[in-house]
Amino acid sequence: MISAPKSVEIAIIGAGVIGLATALRLAGEGREVLVIDPNEPGSGASFGNAGTIAEYACMPVGNPGVLRALPKLLLDPDSPFSLRWAALFQLAPWLVRFVRQSLPAATRANALALAGLLAEALPAWGEMVQEAGLQDLMRRNGCLYVYRRDIDFAASEGGRALRAELGVHQQVLTADEVAALEPRLATFEAKGLYFPDSINVSDPRTVMARLAAAAAAKGAQFMRASVTGLAAGACGVRLSGPGLVIAAQKVVIAAGARSRPLAAQAGDRIPLDTERGYHLEFPTTAPLLNRPVCPVDLGFYMTPMDGRLRVAGTVELGGLNKPPNPRRLALLGRGVRQFFPDIGKPSSQWLGFRPSLPDSRPVIGPSTKSPDVIYAFGHGHLGLTLAPVTARWVASLIAGRSLPSAADFSAARFG
């Protein structure tokens, strides 16, 4: 860590996986980079996620199936998609946009845009694995959705068809084929959906630490500080905060769920809100699963990691400031015991904050008011997956290189 410089070429606000991947990319291109975050690099949602590099996940959160079920989902406190009713007034504008983006035409447009971005994910991760020395942390066993009820599998038909149209590699499995892949799972009688190309990581915290170390080895510097003020001018961007004043030629806002007020100061009203995500971890002497498994009706992932099983997911809308909801943690505990009744007590629990946009597309591109401020946030459930792709895009923007489909992820789409 360093003391505040008076000026820097590129300041990145946020040391999550997006900020770290971007710092690694820019420093590797010879840029002077300063990463600013009040916390340890990679200690937020980038640490606590399900650890999946989900190149298949082009279906937006908002879609006709979710829209049809939304009243039931929101009224059931034990559903995979819930909200804190005390936050309803604050969330109302976001929910109105979410409903609109869940209509068929919008869902298709959002899926097409995401599929184009996700097509770059595995090649981009291949590069970053080599750069940061992550080879021993990558598991290439695919990912499995399990449908324990025929009604849930039937409801997935539209998503399966759209993924097939967009070229996603997926395989429908019988219950016996699921059991062959995951013999320790409790048996069920419906079906599975297997994504054989998916990758997962064995320890997200170690991945983040190595990304930070690799960026530092290429010259990136890190500072523990909070940026609360941003002012773009004719000669760059002035950042300020407690004990902090920095002049940067370019600024990348990669602060995840805390990016909205900074974007507002840059001149854009982005409808960013927060999905509160939870995980529990259970120590294991031997892996219970061979790959991430998502029981679709429960809305979470069970991911084997080094010495433990992480149970991560569900969506709770409700902002950044409230403490963990014990009911959501209990929901994860009950859910995993449907598959592993003797799993025992969790060794840790966690609450983190996903940056969520109503259309499920991240914002990647310049501020509409200043080309010196570049947005790289709003990745929702795809931050880990899209980190190296976003880093490529940001580096191209700074270098003046053209980008495909830039309008699909521009802040201008919120008009």
Q: What is the mean pLDDT of each run of 10 residues along the chain (415 residues)?
A: 74 98 98 97 93 97 88 79 82 93 96 96 97 98 96 92 96 95 87 97 97 98 97 93 95 97 97 94 96 95 97 87 90 95 95 95 97 97 97 96 88 91
What single-letter DSSP state applies at residue 344? -
Sequence letter at residue 260: R
Q: Which of 252, 269, 251 is nearest to 260 (CA)?
A: 269
Sequence letter at residue 180: A
Q: Which of 183, 197, 180, 202 is nearest to 142 (CA)?
A: 197
State the pLDDT at residue 62.
92
Beta strands in 140-287 (DSSP E): 143-147, 171-174, 191-195, 199-201, 221-224, 229-233, 236-241, 244-253, 273-283
399 dihedral zone (left: phi>0; alpha: psi -120 to 50; beta):
alpha
Q: Which of 43, 23, 112, 139 is nearest to 390 (CA)?
A: 23
Distance, CA of 396 to CA of 33 (rounded, Å): 15
Q: Which of 172, 168, 221 is nearest to 197 (CA)?
A: 168
Q: Which of 221, 233, 275 is nearest to 367 (CA)?
A: 233
State the pLDDT at residue 163.
95
Q: Which of 288, 316, 315 is nearest to 302 (CA)?
A: 288
Distance, CA of 353 to CA of 52 (rounded, Å): 17
Element (H, E) at 165: helix 157-165
Listed in sequence order, the residues at least 6 apart from 71 whose beta carbon sits closer than 8 Å to its beta carbon are none
Q: Coil, strand or helix: which one is 373?
A: strand
* Model confidence, pTM: 0.96
Distance, CA of 36 to CA of 166 (rounded, Å): 38
Q: Taking the CB of residue 286, how many other CB atoms lie within 10 A of it?
A: 7
State the pLDDT at residue 5.
59
Distance, CA of 366 to CA of 376 (rounded, Å): 9
In order of 119, 157, 167, the CA distances from 58 in angstroms are 10, 14, 11
Axis crossing angle, helix 121-132 with helix 204-217, rounded to the nearest 10 = 70
State the pLDDT at residue 14.
98
